[in-house]
Amino acid sequence: MTRTATLALAAAMLSGPAFADTVADRIGKTDLADPSIEHAPQDGVVKLYGAGGPHTAFRKVADVWEEETGNKVEIVAGPESAWSADAQADADIMWGTSEQSMTAFLLTYPAFDHEEVEPIYIRPTVIAVKAGNPKGIEGFDDLLADGMKIVVTEGAGVYNTSGTGTWEDVAGRLGRLDDIARFRKNIVAYALGSGASFAQFKEKDADAWITWPNWPLTHQDVLEMVEIDENRTIWRDVNVVISPKADPAAQEFLDFLVSQKAQTIMATEGWQR
C-alpha cells in the first residue's frame, strides 16, 4: 500500500462513525423501529412487553393485583418481531431478561429512557436435564464428559436473548481454556432464544441445557434442574422500564411487582431479590 493510500485509509477510519458509535447513536434506527407509529399507551390497560421467561411469574403476580385492584394487566411475551409494532404503540412497561437484552430492546423504542431502567429480580444460570436425570448429572464438570449432548442459548449477533454468552461465561469461569474446549465439543445446538433452546433440547434428545431456573421449574414433566457450582454460576437480572406516557396504574403495578407478596410469587420460578 502506498503512503498516500495509507493516509487516506487512516483518515477515513478516524472520520468514520465506528469510532464514535454508541448505543445512543443507534436509537430508533433498528429494522423493527417504525417512526410512523404514535406511542400512546394510555388506554386503561397496563401493558407489559418482553422476551419469554419471566412472563409466567409476572402473570401470577398480575392475577393477584387484578383481583385486589380491579385493574387489568396484559403481558405480551415472545420473539420481539411478533410484538414490536404493538409495543411501539401501546407499551406501558417493557422488561428485559438481562442488561444487554434491555439495552438492545431500547434501540427500537425511543419513547423509553434507558436511564430509567430498573433491575428488579435476579436469577442464576442452571443446568436443565431430562426429568429423572437419567445421566446422573450433578454439576458442570459432568458436562465435559465425552458424548454429552448440550444445548446452549445464543443470540449469535442476530437475536436478542438473555442467554447470549452465558455458556462460555460458565465454562470459562475458572480461567481454564480446556474447560471451554471440552464443553464446546459437546454442544449439539446453538439456539436463538430460550424457547428455541427448549425445542432443540427435545428435538436433539439432549442431555443438558444451560438456562435459567424458570424453565425447569415450569416444565417439570420434561425437565429437571441441576444447580451449577457457586464458583461458576453466572447471574443476570430481569429489569423494567416505564413509559413517561404510561397509564397511571402502571407505576402502581410495578410497585406491587416488587412487594413482599410478589417476591414470594416470583420465587416459585427462581427469581430472587
User: pLDDT tens for residues 62-72?
Assistant: 999 999 999 99
Q: Is residue 9 part of a domain?
A: no
In one letter, which amino acid is 72? K
63 within some domain: yes
Q: State how many domains the chain has.
A: 2
pLDDT band at residue 60, thresholds of 50, 70 and 90? very high
Q: Is residue 112 part of a domain?
A: yes
Can you give the residue range of the structural domain that contains 212? 126-233
28 has which bridge partners? none
User: Do residues 89 and 142 share a domain?
Assistant: no
Say what percent of the chain tops pLDDT 90: 86
pLDDT in tens, 184-232: 999 999 999 999 999 999 999 999 999 999 999 999 999 999 999 999 9
Let me know if residue 259 belongs to a domain: yes
Is there a domain that residue 10 lies in? no
Are 216 and 207 in contact by the 8 Å Cβ rule? The answer is no
Do 167 and 224 lie in one domain? The reply is yes
Average pLDDT, the chain: 93
Residue bearing the bigger pLDDT, 206 or 13: 206
At 100 the pLDDT is 93
CATH of the domain at 202: 3.40.190.10
pLDDT for res 157: 84
Contacts of 2 (CB under 8 A, 6+ apart): none
Average pLDDT over residues 174-190: 98
Question: Does 173 lie in the same domain as 210?
Answer: yes
Which pLDDT belongs to residue 244?
98
Q: Are residues 130 and 213 in the same domain?
A: yes
Question: Does the pLDDT of residue 9 top 80, yes or no?
Answer: no
71, containing H or E segment: none
State whether 116 and 197 are in the same domain. no
Quick one: pLDDT at residue 178? 98
Judge if 147 and 219 occupy the same domain. yes
Q: Which residue has the cell 452465558?
A: 166
Question: Is the same domain home to 115 and 247?
Answer: yes
Q: Specify the pTM.
A: 0.88
Strands (E) located in 40-140 = 45-50, 72-77, 93-96, 118-124, 126-130
> Does 100 share its domain with 116?
yes
Residue 88 counted as domain residue = yes
Question: Once rounded to an integer, what is the mean pLDDT over residues 111-134?
Answer: 98
| Same domain as 190, residue 169 | yes
Instruction: Enter the DSSP assignment of 272.
Output: B
- The 3-state DSSP class for residue 223 equals strand
Is residue 135 in a domain? yes
Say whether both 202 and 259 belong to one domain: no
Residues 131 and 114 in one domain: no
Instruction: Indicate whether 228 and 153 sit together in one domain.
Output: yes
- Identify whether 220 is part of a domain: yes
Contacts 24+ apart (CB under 8 A), 249-256: 249/46, 249/69, 249/71, 250/41, 250/46, 250/92, 250/93, 252/69, 252/71, 253/46, 253/62, 253/65, 253/71, 253/73, 253/93, 254/93, 254/118, 254/120, 256/61, 256/65
